[in-house]
Amino acid sequence: MTGADIVLEALQREGVDRIFGYPGGANLPIYQQLPRYPKLEHVLVRHEQGAAHMADGYARAGGRPGVVFATSGPGALNTITGLCTAYMDSVPVVAITGQQNTNLVGRDAFQESDVIGCSMPVTKHNYMVKRVEDIARVIQEAFHIATTGRPGPVLIDICKDVQQASCEPVWSDGIDLPGYRPSFEPDLSKLEEAAAALARADRPVILAGHGVILSGGEEELISVAEKSVTPTGTTLLGVGAFPVRHPLALHMTGFMGTGWNLKAVQNADLLMMVGMRVDDRVTAKLSEWAPKVETFIHIDIDPSEMGKNVRPHLEVVADAKTALQAMLPHVSIEQPERRRSWLTQIDRWREEHPLKYVRSNGHLQPQDVMIEMYRRCDNEAIVVADVGQNQIWAALWWNYTKPGLFINSGGAGTMGFAFPAAIGAKMARPDKPVWCVAGEGGFVMTAQELSVAVKHRLDVKVVLLNNFSLGMVRQFQDDFYGGVRSEVDLSEMPDFVKLADAYGLPGICVQSVDQIKPAFDFAQRTAGPVLIDFRIDPNANVYPIVPLGRGLNDFWELPDEYA
């Protein structure tokens, strides 16, 4: 078998059915063999970054690793932003890149680049393959590493002559990686202690992150919250893990979180953090974060997260679902009446600090668009958001009464992520409606992938929140950088309806509130991709927001006179 055949055979053995890729000089041997593997459906992207984001969205929506092909040099380097996005959010992706011939590596040959060096900081692991005998083992290891423990991207760089060489592949039954111990049985005594602390606490809060979604632990989270009567919020990446219309829901935390969530975190006496990193966007100013907490409980699959940002009193290294499941039988509540007063207090905060937005200035408000979109999502659709104001509006107006999938680039904050990721998500879950929410700035960074949506007639609906500016940057400049509006004007943008037309999909433009519903009606009754260009209030802002450098207590809200 040639190396190229071994690559494709190995992918089939791993259960891969779809590859997002782009051919070029250094992976031509693989592409030559690809038509002989009809079970591997290839999606020809328009830029390799798109392939990486599609694989990422595919993995997040489908729960299976996404696979990327790219050629050497620029092809491989174009995947780096996408790999970093997957790495920051712990998403299993396997990227297979072509490399120059083994005897030319290191000689600055054509389209040669040090892809191993470049991808090292943004992958969980990477491999350079210089012997055909290694391909089978390396691919098996790569999938194992990508999908186990804390998931993440793995890159395999395969020299072109190795793809052309031949050998009889040896398929191993087991993985021999002595330095890799990805699974941890949760420490039961610690979980019992955690459950007891939760039962005793007067003002407990649970915060859930992406780990809950990655482990599929949403139901267990709800059970633990309900049985212990603990108010529960999520991080930005955890949105969807806990139903926001649940009476215990605190919705999103962090520096653009809801007021009642921030109040609860800042007044809690116990905080249980599940499947999250406790990063700077969650805590804002760390020294002022959760000041009244006496017991921090941290559950995460990655031992290095314990004490990285916040030193827990109780740490449990385990997969979130497994840990919550094991904890559940021990969960109870000691003083229901004291807990009732905590819940009453939170209800009061919810009333005092509701989500507010400008309703009366005659402009189309992004929140009105989100509210209508979520009404049509009907607790079922997958929503993929880009980065910036659109991302936070989409997160804050999330309204599901059961767990659901909200996909965004929370860690890396990669503009241009949403549309290709939505394509990947739709391919992984053709049964689910997929809505892509993006600003015009991020959307044009990867808009070339419209061709992919058209070619595959994918039912991805693009909700463009178009304010002709880099809205989040503009808001920061207005509020935190002395009001100097510097290089945020995007008034020179394509006519998105014509752009959609040029790519071969229907596009419509919405300028007023009364056009919102007809536009969504049109999008929903039209098969295949649709783009709606919502011309929103150019001054619409994200609220609440914590001023940069300040603690969560200092969050700003929209003044009542504008609401």
Partner 1 sequence: MSTPNGSVPDRLRVLTAVVEDHPGVLTRVSGMIRRRGFNIQSLSVGPTDEPGRSRLTLTVDAGHAEVDQVQKQLDRLIEVIEVEDLTEAPRLSRELALVKLAVTGPRRDRAVAEVDRFGGRLVDVGAATVIVEVSGEFERVECFLEALRPYEIVELARSGPVAMRSGTPAKQEVSQ
Residue 303 engages partner 1 in binding (rule: CB under 8 A): yes
* Cβ-based burial of 194 (10 A; exposed 0-12, middle 13-18, buried ≥19): buried
Each residue 357-386 as x (binds partner 1 by CB under 8 A) or -, in order, gives ------------------------------
Among 46, 64, 109, 180, which residue interacts with partner 1 (rule: CB under 8 A)?
180
Q: Confirm whether 160 is a catalytic residue.
A: yes
Q: Which 3 state secondary structure label does DSSP give 57?
A: helix
The arrangement of strands across the sheet holding 270-274 comes to 249-252, 232-234, 204-208, 270-274, 295-300, 314-317
Block residue for tokens 């893990």: 241
Indicate the residue among 116 and 272 with the shorter CB distance to partner 1.
116
Each residue 500-529 as x (binds partner 1 by CB under 8 A) or -, in order, gives ------------------------------
Minimal distance in Å, beta carbon 316 to partner 1? 15
Say how far residue 377 (Cα) sits from the centre of its chain. Answer: 19
Minimal distance in Å, beta carbon 300 to partner 1? 12
In whole angstroms, what is the distance from residue 86 CA to residue 96 CA? 15
Q: Confirm whether 48 is a catalytic residue.
A: yes
Beta strands 295-300 and 507-510 are unpaired
Residue 482 engages partner 1 in binding (rule: CB under 8 A): no
Residue 177 engages partner 1 in binding (rule: CB under 8 A): yes
Catalytic hit among 160, 190, 263, 321: 160
Minimal distance in Å, beta carbon 209 to partner 1? 18
Residue 412 engages partner 1 in binding (rule: CB under 8 A): no
Each residue 111-150 as x (binds partner 1 by CB under 8 A) or -, in order, gives -----xx--xx--xx--x----------------x-----
Is residue 317 within a helix (H) or strand (E), and if so which, with residue range? Answer: strand 314-317
Minimal distance in Å, beta carbon 120 to partner 1? 6
* DSSP notation for 66-77: EEEEE-TTHHHH
Minimal distance in Å, beta carbon 150 to partner 1? 9
Residue 103 engages partner 1 in binding (rule: CB under 8 A): no
Binding segment for partner 1 (CB under 8 A), chosen from 16-24, 296-304, 390-398, 492-500, is 296-304
Minimal distance in Å, beta carbon 118 to partner 1? 11
Indicate the residue among 80 and 531 with the shorter CB distance to partner 1.
80
* DSSP notation for 299-314: EES-GGGTTTSS--SE
Neighbour count for residue 169 (Cβ, 10 Å): 21
Catalytic hit among 39, 41, 110, 511: 110
CA distances from 318 to 103, 175, 301 (A): 44, 21, 4
Q: Where are the alpha helices (DSSP H) in 173-237?
A: 188-200, 210-214, 218-228
Indicate the residue among 292 and 311 with the shorter CB distance to partner 1.
311
- Indicate the length of the chain as a whole number: 563
Indicate the residue among 306 and 343 with the shorter CB distance to partner 1.
306
Indicate the residue among 178 and 336 with the shorter CB distance to partner 1.
178
Comparing C-alpha atoms, which of 203, 553, 200, 208 is closest to residue 343?
203
* DSSP notation for 474-533: HHHHHHHSTT---S-B--S---HHHHHHHHTS-EEEE-SGGGHHHHHHHHHHS-S-EEEE
Minimal distance in Å, beta carbon 261 to partner 1? 26
How many residues line the site for partner 1 (CB under 8 A)? Answer: 19
Indicate the residue among 134 and 537 with the shorter CB distance to partner 1.
134
Backbone phi, psi, residue 126, to 5°: -145, 160
Query: Cis link prior to 544 (omega < 30° from 0)?
Result: yes
Angle between helices 336-352 and 259-267 (to 10 degrees): 140
Catalytic hit among 124, 472, 496, 534: 472
Indicate the residue among 307 and 430 with the shorter CB distance to partner 1.
307
Indicate the residue among 181 and 517 with the shorter CB distance to partner 1.
181
Q: Confirm whether 321 is a catalytic residue.
A: no
Give yes or no for a contact between 536 and 440, defined as CB atoms under 8 angstroms apart.
no
In whole angstroms, what is the distance from residue 221 CA to residue 232 CA? 9
Minimal distance in Å, beta carbon 65 to partner 1? 16
Each residue 308-327 as x (binds partner 1 by CB under 8 A) or -, in order, gives x--x----------------
Q: Which 3 state secondary structure label does DSSP give 519?
A: helix
CA distances from 317 to 242, 293, 475 (A): 21, 21, 39
**Which residues contribute to the site for partner 1 (CB under 8 A)?**
116-117, 120-121, 124-125, 128, 145, 177-180, 302-304, 306-308, 311
The residues assigned a catalytic role are 48, 110-111, 160, 472
